[in-house]
Amino acid sequence: MRRDAIRTSLFTRRALLLGGIEALALGGLAARLYQVQVVEGKRYALLAESNRVSARLLAPPRGRLLDRFGTPLATNRINWRAVLIAEQSGDVDATLARFSAIIPLSEHEQARINRELLHQRRFVPIILRDFLQWEDMARIEVNAPDLPGVQIDVGTTRLYPFGPTLAHAIGYVAPPSEDEADDAPVLALPGMRVGRAALEKYHDLALRGRAGILQVEVNATGRVIRELARNEGVAGADITLTLDAGLQQDVVETLGEESASAVVLDARSGEVLAMATSPSFDPTLFNSGVSQAQWNEWTKSRGTPLINKAVAGLYAPGSTFKMVVALAGLEARTIKPGERIFCPGYLDLGDTRFHCWSRYGHGSLDLRGGLKNSCDVFFYELARRTGIDGIAAMAKRFGLGVRPQIELPEARAGLVPTRAWRESHGHHWNPGDTVVHGIGQGFLELTPVQLATMVARIATGRAVEPHLTRAIDATLDPGADPAAAPALDVPAPYLHMVREGMWAVVNEQGGTAPLARLDLPGMQLAGKTGSTQVRHVARELREHGHFNSENLPWELRPHALFVAFAPYDAPRYALAVVVEHGNAGAQRAAPLARAIMTSALTRDPLSRASAAPRLAASGESDPSSARAGTP
């Protein structure tokens, strides 16, 4: 009995121990189940959902640039590409090796991909190949199970329908640098571009937009099953410009093969209607990458196609500066209305003789005659009387020697010298320096857009500022009249006297620019020629008449300039034309100005819609682009 009691007692203790252990195990399991399903249920549900749902950032469509009538000047087209998301790939090197066997990657592409893998976050897509063909996409899709993390993505690429015609004004885009992508994460997205020049650069932030999000369901291999949700983000703003694409085409065709530039302004408001530089370049090439051979061709060209000469080309203004000298003299009262100056063909100052472009002189001239004949001696003497500081002060009132407020980062201020400027460089200002500046030579350096601004201010008496933007994300009436610029602080009678002289240059017998005369009923143009030396001409050659710049090599010939406004009795359009090494403004620049002004007056973009422009290129548009010396 005793042994049975002991055996029963041992069994009971063991049963209780085992039962306790089982109870503890079941309690722990129940506690863990409660922890997983109740306390942390949401977290695990989210993890499961993350394995099923893949979220991707969407690059927003870049905003468009439109001309004043709504014609797209910079827009977007669809671009299919292959991208890699490193965190979904596992063995990235193996995936890249398999992809390269399907779609061969060049050494340059592989180096770029490795560089981006090193610097980009692992969840940010990296472009493997842009601009895929249908055959390439089919091969990638068929091999998708062997390419974890590789996806076909649709985005946009920049399209410039007018190609080189508007390249300098519109600019171009290019991939962002690593520093830019670090500062703005949206730039790390595939296909994102940043403006690198001109209006694309100036309006870059407005054109970028904000990134969207795409949620897709994926299977165990990462293959997309279906799209769950899409937020397109915010497309970049559409920006309406002052340019008229049709007039721009006419200006470019007029300049032809010349190394030249031209600017057409609304003389009352300063709106830039056309801005052309020749030769030009194809801005689309910067989107995908410029080859070394193409870059070498551009940089070695004597026509400097990458420089926007209209705002960054610096030239001595020559005789086109004589209107400023005349106004400075009138204001300083160093010449009176009707006063005459005699021109024997030269001016002696000390032991230096300054020649007129006419060896035989012009005789006795008043201000009107001085401008009409572009008499150098007249303006030598007027500058000598007035002084360089008075001339410089007047020049600045006409927008010369100061950087224009135009929306082009590359625009330059040029130079209008003063005594203080010269002395700050360790030199004394000589009377002879003042004399040569009277005919627009010496240290003067101005841009074509400044010359167009000058003549617009002369024509209207208003302090116009050249600008290229009409509206951002707004619809404008093409015929809407912008507010006129404020009045210029120059007496109206003085401006009238200068305008009369410019009218005589073109329309009066003996004027220096008969080739600029308009052939439009009831329309007259007023203008001024200019030619500027790029080398010194020996005194003996001038005195004996042996000098002929036509015989010089191209790069040593004078530049040819012409400025004008029209119609004379009610100025609407102002323009400046500069032909590099064109030799004589009257022969080379004036006929071009006449053709450009004829086009502006005929098309008349300030009062009605122009004829439809001709596209220089075509491409598939993004479906979201609706939002996306001598005279």
Write the DSSP string, 404-467. ---S-TT----B---HHHHHHTT-PPPHHHHHHHTTT-TT-BB-HHHHHHHHHHHHHSB----B
Q: What is the pLDDT of residue 88?
A: 79
Reading the block at residue 581, the tokens are 């090494």
Which of 546, 563, 560, 568 lies closest to 629, judged by CA? 560
What residue ranges define each of the domains in the chain, with the CATH number in brackets? 54-241 (3.90.1310.10), 245-280+309-467+485-603 (3.40.710.10)
Q: How confident is the model at residue 287 (pLDDT cuts 50, 70, 90)?
A: confident
Cα-Cα end-to-end distance for the chain: 142
**For the segment 437-486, what is each residue's pLDDT rounded down to a tens digit?**
999 999 999 999 999 999 999 999 999 999 999 998 876 665 566 777 88
Instruction: Fill in the amino acid letter for 285.
Output: L
Q: What is the pLDDT of residue 91?
A: 84
The better pLDDT of the pair 155, 589 is held by: 589
Q: How far is CA 274 from CA 252, 254, 491, 599, 614, in A?
A: 9, 12, 30, 11, 15
Reading the block at residue 70, the tokens are 């709504």
Reading the block at residue 420, the tokens are 């203080």
Q: What is the pLDDT of residue 500?
A: 97
Q: What is the pLDDT of residue 97?
A: 85
Reading the block at residue 440, the tokens are 């627009």
The better pLDDT of the pair 551, 536 is held by: 551
Say how far apart CA 351 and CA 106 lie, in whole Å: 70
Q: What is the pLDDT of residue 64?
A: 94
**Of 125-134, 226-235, 587-596, where does the model show the most confidence?**
587-596
Mean per-residue pLDDT for 532-546? 56
The better pLDDT of the pair 291, 493 is held by: 493
**Of 218-222, 282-286, 332-336, where does the model show the most confidence?**
332-336
**For the segment 167-200, what is each residue's pLDDT rounded down to a tens digit?**
999 999 987 877 776 677 777 776 778 889 999 9
Reading the block at residue 146, the tokens are 């062997």
Contacts of 247 (CB under 8 A, 6+ apart): 264, 273, 274, 599, 600, 603, 605, 610
Q: What is the pTM of this model?
A: 0.81
Say how far apart CA 159 and CA 624 lie, in whole Å: 14
> If 0-12 CB within 10 Å is exposed, 13-18 middle and 19+ buried, where does residue 218 land?
middle
Q: What is the pLDDT of residue 147?
A: 85
Mean per-residue pLDDT for 561-584? 94
Out of 78-92, 318-332, 457-471, 528-542, least confident range: 528-542
Contacts of 566 (CB under 8 A, 6+ apart): 518, 523, 524, 525, 526, 572, 573, 597, 600, 601
Q: How confident is the model at residue 630 (pLDDT cuts 50, 70, 90)?
A: very low
Read off the DSSP letter of residue 365: E
- Name the one residue in this structure whose structure tokens are 């071009």: 592
Say how far apart CA 378 and CA 340 lie, in whole Å: 9
Out of 163-167, 294-298, 612-616, least confident range: 612-616
Read off the DSSP letter of residue 271: B
The better pLDDT of the pair 590, 215 is held by: 590
SS3 of residue 542 by DSSP = helix
pLDDT at 577 over 60: yes
Contacts of 166 (CB under 8 A, 6+ apart): 73, 160, 243, 245, 248
Read off the DSSP letter of residue 19: H
Q: What is the pLDDT of residue 389?
A: 96
pLDDT at 292 over 60: yes
- Name the one residue in this structure whose structure tokens are 């007249």: 378
Say how far apart CA 116 and CA 126 lie, in whole Å: 7
Q: What is the pLDDT of residue 40?
A: 66
Q: What is the pLDDT of residue 376?
A: 96
Which strands, in side-by-side order, build the sheet including 526-532? 272-278, 260-266, 573-579, 559-566, 526-532
pLDDT at 423 over 80: yes
Q: Are 54 and 87 in contact (CB under 8 A)?
A: no
SS3 of residue 33 by DSSP = helix
Instruction: Fill in the amino acid letter for 406.
Output: I
Q: Are 417 and 321 in contact (CB under 8 A)?
A: no
Task: Return the half-sphere exposure (C-beta side, CA atoms, 13 A cut-off) of residue 583.
Answer: 11
The rounded percent of the chain whose pLDDT value lies above 90 is 52
